[in-house]
Amino acid sequence: MYDIAPPAVYAHESVMSTPTYRARVERVVAALREPQPIVTYTDRDLPDMVRNRNLFAGRRPMGTLQDVRDPILLFNTFRFDSRESVDARRKQLIKAGWDKPTDALLGDAAFVWFDANLETDTHRHDKVCRPCWRIHLQEGCLHKCQYCGLGGLLVAMVNVEDYCRHLAELIRRHPWQTTYLLDDDADPPGLEPELGVLGELIEFFGTLEDRYLIIHTKTWNTRWMRSLKHNGKTIIVWSISGPTQSRLIEPDTGTTEQRIEAARIAQEAGYPVRYKFKPIIPFRGWRDDAAYTAELIFKHTRPDVISLCVFMWHTYDAMVRSVPADLIDPEFLDAARAGQSETEDTMTKPFPQQARQRIYEHHLAEIRKHDRDVPVSLSTENFKMWSAMKDQLGCTATNYVCGCGPQSDPGLRKLTCHPFQVAVRNDHGIPGVV
C-alpha cells in the first residue's frame, strides 16, 4: 500500500456493520503513516460532511493549490437499489450545496454506459473513442499530479463480492464487449493489497472465458499481484511519461523507471502489459525523454499495444495555471498561446494540430527504433488527427487497437469488428447502472 497520511477516514454504516467490509477498512487504517480513527457516517450525515468537513476542498487541479495533501479516505458500498433511492440521496447533497454529487458517495454508478461516438455523444465529432460499459470501484486518486482535479477525496467501494455478482450479469448480456476498463477516474492499486478489493476482481475475471479486466495506472505497486489467480485475464496499462514529467509534476506516482519495473514484474507474472504515453506534456528536453522512455520500455518489457495522447482538455490559461510554464518547451508554449483561436472549438486544446502531430511523430519514431510491429494508436484524439496519421500508424480511427477499448483483447493487431456498430446496450433490470 502507498505510504499516506489522510486527514480523515470515513466509513459508511453499511461498511462498518459487515465484518468482511469492516476488516478491509481496518487493514488500510493499520497501514497508514499516522493513526487515524474511523468515523462512521450515515446517508443523513452527508450534507453536514459536504458543508462543514471540507469533503471536496481538494477537488481542484492540484497545481493550483498551495498545499496538496493526501486525500480524505471514505469507504462506501454500492447499494444496488432503486433510482428513487439514489435520487433522494442526490437531492440531499444538492440541498447541502454540492451541485454535482459524486456517484460514489451515493452508492451508485457501479457500471457506467460510455456512449462515445454514438448519436447521444455530444462530442462525437471531436474525439475518437469507443462506446462500452466502464466499471468502477473507486473515485479519486493518491498521485497528486498537478494537472488533475481528482485529489482531496478518495472514495473506495468495498462490497466487491456483491459487485461481481451483478457484473457477471452485465457481462453475460453484452457479448460484444470483451474488455472492461476499471476506474477511469481513479488509480486502483494505491490501497492494495490491504484493502483486498482489486485482487478479488482480478480473480473473478480469471474465472471467465474470453473476457478481460483492464487496469489503467501510474503505479509502482504490483508485487502483491504476482500470487493472484489472474489466468492472463487482467491487462495492465501504464500511463507512462518521461523522467522530467514523472518527477516534477506527478510527484506520488511511480517514476518512469518505477512504472516500467512494475510492468516488468507484472509481465513476468503473466499479465499482459501495455503503455500509454499520456498525457504527453512537451517539457524542455521532451524529445530526449521520449527516446529514453521508449528504450527503457523495450529493454525490460514487451508491450502488446502502445498508445499516444498529448496533454489536452485544458485551455491555454488552465494549463499554465496548473503546470509550470517555464518547464514547457518555448516552441510549444508559444504554439499553444498563438493557437488559442484555432483550438477554441476542440477538446484537444491547448496545443494545435501541427504541434500535436510533431509530438506524435517523434514518439512513434522512437518506438519504431525498438519494435517495428507493435500496434501504436492515438488515445482520445480527434478524427482530423487520425486522418493525418493513419498511414504512419497503419490503422484507422475505426480499426485501431486501443489500450483500454472494449474489444482490445491481448494480441490483436486490428479490431475484427466495427466498434461503433456492434455496441448495443442491454441492461434493463440490472441495478447500479447509469
**Domain harbouring 335, CATH code:** 3.80.30.30
The mean pLDDT value of the chain amounts to 95
- pLDDT of the residue at 92: 81
- pLDDT of the residue at 138: 97
Residue 83 near residue 120, CB atoms below 8 Å: no
Alpha helices in 53-175 (DSSP H): 83-95, 160-173
- pLDDT of the residue at 102: 79
- pLDDT of the residue at 101: 61
Buried b (16+ CB within 10 A) or exposed e, 56-69: bebbbbbbebeebb
In this model, does residue 394 exceed pLDDT 90?
Answer: yes
pLDDT tens digits, 276-300: 999 999 999 999 999 999 999 999 9
Does any domain span residue 433?
A: no
Does any domain span residue 133?
A: yes
Does any domain span residue 431?
A: no
Distance CA(232)–CA(235), nearest Å, equals: 7
pLDDT tens digits, 47-58: 888 888 888 888
Residue 404 near residue 181, CB atoms below 8 Å: yes
What is the pLDDT confidence band of residue 240, given thresholds at 50, 70 and 90?
Answer: very high
- pLDDT of the residue at 367: 98
- pLDDT of the residue at 85: 87
In DSSP terms, 73 is beta-bridged to: 9, 154
Neighbours of 347 (CB within 10 A): 14
Beta strands in 241-337 (DSSP E): 273-280, 306-310
Range of the structural domain that residue 391 is part of: 9-422
pLDDT tens digits, 191-207: 999 999 999 999 999 99
Residue 310 near residue 351, CB atoms below 8 Å: yes
- pLDDT of the residue at 88: 86
Quickly tell me which residue has 433522494 as its cell.
Answer: 88
Give the CA diameter of the chain.
Answer: 59
pLDDT tens digits, 93-145: 888 777 666 789 899 999 999 999 999 999 988 999 999 999 999 999 999 99
Q: What does the pLDDT average to over 204-219?
A: 98
Q: What does the pLDDT average to over 256-270?
A: 98
Which CA distances in Å does 151 have to 114, 141, 235, 368, 411?
Answer: 23, 6, 25, 36, 35
Does any domain span residue 22?
A: yes
- pLDDT of the residue at 51: 83
How many domains does the chain contain in total?
1
pLDDT tens digits, 336-355: 999 999 999 899 999 999 99
In this model, does residue 15 exceed pLDDT 90?
Answer: yes
- pLDDT of the residue at 424: 96
Distance CA(130)–CA(185), nearest Å, equals: 17
Does any domain span residue 225?
A: yes
Contacts with 368 (C-beta within 8 Å, 6 or more apart), sequence order: none
In this model, does residue 414 exceed pLDDT 90?
Answer: yes
Residue 121 near residue 115, CB atoms below 8 Å: yes
Quickly tell me which residue has 498561446 as its cell.
Answer: 337
High-pLDDT (> 90) share of the chain, %: 89
In this model, does residue 236 exceed pLDDT 90?
Answer: yes
Does any domain span residue 44?
A: yes
In single-letter form, the type of residue at position 75 comes to F
High-pLDDT (> 70) share of the chain, %: 99
Does any domain span residue 252?
A: yes
Q: What does the pLDDT average to over 239-255?
A: 96
Does any domain span residue 176?
A: yes
Residue 286 near residue 244, CB atoms below 8 Å: yes
